[in-house]
Amino acid sequence: MVAPLATRVELLLFASGEAPEPQATIELDQRHRSGDYWHVEVEGIGLGTCYAYRVFGPLLPGGHGFNPSKLLLDPCARAISGWEGYRRGQAIGATPNTGTALKGVVTERDRFDFSEAPRPRHSWQSSIIYELHVGGYTHGEGSPVAAKHQGTLLGLIETIPHLKELGITTIELLPVMAFDPQDAPEGRHNHWGYSPLSWMAPHPGYLVGSDPLEARHQVRHLVRSAHQAGLEVILDVVYNHTSEGNQAGPSLSWRGFADHLYYQQNARGDYLDVSGCGNTIAANRPLVRRLILESLRCWAVELGVDGFRFDLGIALSRGEELAPLDSPPLFEEMEADPDLADLKMISEPWDCGGLYRLADFPAQRVATWNGRWRDDVRRFWKGDERSCWTMAQRLAGSPDLFNNGPVRPGQGITFLTAHDGFTLADLVSFNGKHNLANGEDNRDGDNHNTSWNHGVEGPSSDHAVTALRNRQLRNLLSTLALSPGVPMLLMGDEVRRSQGGNNNTWCQNNPLGWMHWQPDQGDRDLQTFLRRLLHLRQRLAPLLNSEQPSPHWHGVELNKPDWAAWSHTLAWSLHGSHGQPLLWCGMNAFSKAIHFDLPHSASGWLRVIDTGLPAGDDLPEHPQPWEPPGAPLESRSLMLLLAPSLMQDADLLTGPMGSTLS
């Protein structure tokens, strides 16, 4: 345990996590420390023993520092107990909180058995990520998950067949490290989990049963089941801040051990905040880095996960006084660690302090979320002016954002939607956010959504409106599948899951934030379209994700792209080594149908996608030859033609084991 400025430490042992008083108190003094570390060996301690600390020491500038009236959770505890009696508010002030504090639990630290369930190790080129919330994805009317498993890690195992059928390779879980559900306004609770209480222990709300010793076994069971099904598991991790808030927040763990060490502060002791949550972790400091790296190894080596997505990850590159570092030591040590060397690492390249580093993200092996891709693709299909040129850049792999050089597979994550923002169905159904249910008078959530309701705000019975919305869903998803990069989908987008226009459901543990498990015919049609589209993506990935994608740009006429501000049409083709066209794609974001000229293909063309056609015909199971001399595209539609040579080895829409998806 690290407490550099502490003068004395007490280790308290409890009969249970809910016990109001300790069974024993063990005093640690200077004999029990080595430099910044405090340690003691206690005989007779076994698995399941509950414990906590009191730490004594001087106050720091601004009144921060040690508060021995508060019990502290061990930052390295692999399991936690005491949730029933936990009261966040009692960790503030000078009143003792012995009966309402969380306790660590002594547990095993075994390694994951990779011989039984080896990592799938999907290449970046072939990866398709699906972001989901464990609790939200396993709940909902019609859920395939047994009632006793809904909302849990074990329940997620029961959804693996659905995920496999869809064609994804990698599931990305919103935070599953223990978080504080009480870190929310009165009357609400934190549902998403971006309020960490521990970087080591699994969240108890996602477990079946109340035995804290079962937590790690259940995580391993999920990871093992996913691996055996060929799916990777990536965790969304929050190392940029904790649930302790600013200097007026509760003393739960980190603050009580080393307030000045873990948090960025100014000379007065005021907390510096680029997380938007009251504090910022000082990830540049050696002892803090050591704890974060231990957490990563805990989940990767002991529990078997395949990678991490770093929430506001660029904040971890800040040094003293929040100065951006070109060579942040945390990422350098991550990339040099043999236990982490073959994992998928993903980061948001922005933080709430305005730092945004996409192409120059200061870690070579970390992929970044390409928020510009999301915004520019939305703008094009929405029909905004000055959107054709930027759309072309996104379809070419965003070279303008990556120093005009080749973009490596795995360097950028492309996505249309994520947990933070509108779902795909809401993106085409609402012009503005509708977050009143969050209790903040619609002030929360992003105001910049680049959405379009297509004439009616919210649900509509107008056939023309719903037909256009459904076409736009297919346009957006097709663009995602046909773009270089690593595509990421949001849970439920395949069945038009709506949040009623709420773009910030962080506190909505109810149908608003749950999966949509009772699809109607239109939902099922989109699901079929996406299944086929993802298998098409897998077949075309080597062509789309080459080191130097070089599309030939066209407009309605060959080799004459229209980059004018008012243009809403774009076409592009990819050619083989001998110059023969292999792929042609036309995109018409205009309000009227337009005829496009086609490049000559000696072997003809196969029409694979045409979003202007009815469901089922828009991406048919068996593509048909395309004979007309040109390509008439309906208003706001996309067409993809392929050379027959790309389909010689196997049907483009045939899934694993030769089973044709329908």
pLDDT digits (tens, 9 = 90+) for 435-456: 999 999 999 999 999 999 999 9
302 an active-site residue? no
CA-to-CA distance for 356 and 166, rounded, in angstroms? Answer: 33
Q: What is the DSSP string of 278-311?
A: S--B-TTSHHHHHHHHHHHHIIIIIS---EEEET
pLDDT of the residue at 287:
97
Is 84 part of the annotated catalytic residue set?
no
Return the SS3 of 171.
strand
180, 183, 244, 348: which one is catalytic? 348
Low-confidence stretches of the chain (pLDDT beneath 50): 650-662
**C-beta separation of 424 from 490 below 8 A:** yes
**DSSP state letters, 106-147:** ----PPP-TTTS------TTT--EEEE-HHHHH-STT-SS-G
E strand or H helix that includes residue 641: strand 637-642
End-to-end C-alpha distance for the chain, whole angstroms = 56
Among the options 306, 311, 376, 618, which is catalytic? 311
Q: Could you give the residue range(s) of every CATH 2.60.40.1180 domain in the chain? A: 550-658
- Model pLDDT, residue 502: 97
Pick the CATH number of 550-658 from 2.60.40.1180, 3.40.50.20, 3.60.20.10, 1.10.10.10: 2.60.40.1180
Helix, strand, coil percentages, rounded to 5, for the chain:
25, 20, 55
Is 474 exposed, middle or buried (CB count within 10 Å of its CB: 0-12, 13-18, 19+)? buried
Please report the pLDDT score of residue 254 as a whole number: 96
CA distances 153 to 220, 378, 493, 593, Å, are 10, 33, 21, 48
Q: What is the pLDDT, as a whole number, of residue 656? A: 39
Task: Judge if pTM exceeds 0.85.
Answer: yes
Measured between alpha carbons, how far is 125 from 482 in angstroms, rounded to an integer? Answer: 13
Residue 199 DSSP label: S
Tell me the C-alpha distance between 349 and 420, whole Å: 15
Report pLDDT for 405. 73
pLDDT in tens, 189-219: 999 999 999 999 999 999 999 999 999 999 9
* Positive or negative: CA dihedral 450, 451, 452, 456: negative
User: 129-206+220-245+307-328+344-542 architecture in CATH?
Assistant: Alpha-Beta Barrel (3.20)
pLDDT of amino acid 65: 79
pLDDT for 63: 62
In the chain, CATH 3.20.20.80 sits at 129-206+220-245+307-328+344-542
**CA gap 266, 84 in Å, rounded:** 37
At how many degrees (to 10) do helices 254-262 and 286-297 cross?
130
**pLDDT given at position 577:** 79
Question: Pairing mode, if any, of strands 80-81 and 103-105?
Answer: antiparallel
